[in-house]
């Protein structure tokens, strides 16, 4: 299983971190070990003092392909949910200063949280998708897929220009504005169109 991730896919999020607005999808990857087991407690790694949450929509690949194009590219995915891409922001900033890859900051064990899958229907795809991430009972991120710089089909087209996709692969599609620090004891909950799809406790 491959975990593909898209960075800087919302204008306001790029601005909040002082990043340039990308002209093509920013793609990075996480290893299988980054996926936090369902129901597991998340533990903040010892190597970071500034861990950020990043809530986002996640697609599940159901059909393999390469160089996908056209109106039916999303037929290669059968489900969607909300997840968290945890980021060691202090580590990432140091890596960026040196022009080095982000894996240490983005791809560590347990850094990818995944909610319960929702069937990817045509009606979902044809309309803006709304999602939220709550921390300790308060909404900290409110997402709307219509605000994405690169749409879900464009993301699939871009990924498959460089990589083959296979059933079971995951695609994290980017986070909206509102990312912030994570502390021991925090409680997160993800919502897809108003439905709770995951809860997560950070180990105290």
How buried is 31 (Cβ within 10 angstroms: 0-12 exposed, 13-18 middle, 19+ buried)? middle
* Residue range of the domain that includes 99: 3-33+42-201
Query: What six digits make up the tokens of 196?
Result: 């709770």
Query: Rounded distance, CA 78 to CA 56, Å?
Result: 17
Among candidates 82, 39, 88, which has minimal Cα distance to 190? 82
Question: Rounded to an integer, what distance in angstroms lies between the CA atom of residue 68 and that of residue 203?
Answer: 41
The whole-number pLDDT of residue 22 equals: 84
Cα–Cα distance, 91 to 103 (Å, whole number) = 10
**When comparing pLDDT for 148 and 12, which is higher?**
148
The whole-number average pLDDT for the span 53-61 is: 98
**Picking from 2-6, 17-21, 60-64, which range would have the lowest pLDDT averaged per residue?**
17-21
Q: What is the pLDDT of residue 150?
A: 95
The per-residue pLDDT for 122 is 81
The whole-angstrom separation of Cα 84 and Cα 66 is: 26
Residue 198 has pLDDT above 80, yes or no: yes
Q: What is the pLDDT of residue 126?
A: 83
Q: Residue 20 has what pLDDT?
A: 79
Burial class (CB in 10 A: 0-12, 13-18, 19+), 162: exposed
HSE at residue 1, side-chain half, CA atoms within 13 A, is 14
pLDDT of residue 194: 97
Residues 167 and 97: their CA atoms lie apart, in Å, by: 36
Whether residue 177 contacts residue 52, with contact meaning beta carbons closer than 8 Å, is answered with no
What pLDDT, on the 0 to 100 scale, is given for residue 11?
Answer: 79
Convert the pLDDT of each residue in 177-192 to its tens digit: 999 999 999 999 999 9
Q: Are 177 and 11 in contact (CB under 8 A)?
A: no
Domain count, the chain: 1
Question: CA 85 from chain center: how many Å?
Answer: 5
Identify the CATH number of the domain in which residue 120 sits.
3.90.850.10
pLDDT at 4 over 80: yes
What pLDDT does 14 receive?
63
Q: Dihedral, CA atoms, 130, 124, 62, 35, nearest 10 degrees?
A: 10
Instruction: State pLDDT tens for residues 79-130.
Output: 999 999 999 999 999 999 999 999 999 999 999 999 999 999 887 888 899 9
pLDDT in tens, 134-172: 999 999 999 999 999 999 999 999 999 999 999 999 999
pTM of the model as a whole: 0.95
């Amino acid at each position: 299983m491959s975990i593909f991730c898209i960075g800087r896919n919302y204008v306001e999020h790029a601005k909040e971190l002082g990043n340039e607005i990308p002209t093509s999808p920013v793609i990075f990857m996480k290893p299988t070990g980054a996926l936090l087991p369902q129901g597991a407690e998340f533990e903040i790694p010892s190597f970071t003092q500034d861990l950020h949450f990043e809530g986002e929509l996640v697609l599940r690949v159901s059909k393999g392909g390469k160089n996908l194009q056209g109106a039916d590219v999303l037929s290669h995915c059968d489900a969607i949910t909300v997840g968290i891409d945890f980021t060691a922001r202090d580590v990432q900033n140091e890596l960026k200063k040196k022009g080095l890859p982000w894996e240490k900051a983005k791809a560590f064990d347990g850094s990818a949280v995944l909610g319960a899958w929702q069937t990817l229907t045509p009606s979902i795809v044809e309309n803006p998708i709304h999602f939220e991430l709550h921390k300790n009972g308060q909404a900290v991120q409110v997402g709307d897929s219509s605000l994405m710089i690169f749409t879900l089909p464009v993301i699939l087209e871009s990924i498959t220009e460089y990589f083959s996709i296979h059933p079971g692969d995951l695609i994290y599609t980017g986070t909206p504005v509102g990312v912030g620090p994570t502390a021991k004891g925090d409680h997160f909950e993800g919502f897809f169109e108003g439905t709770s799809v995951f809860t997560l406790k950070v180990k105290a």
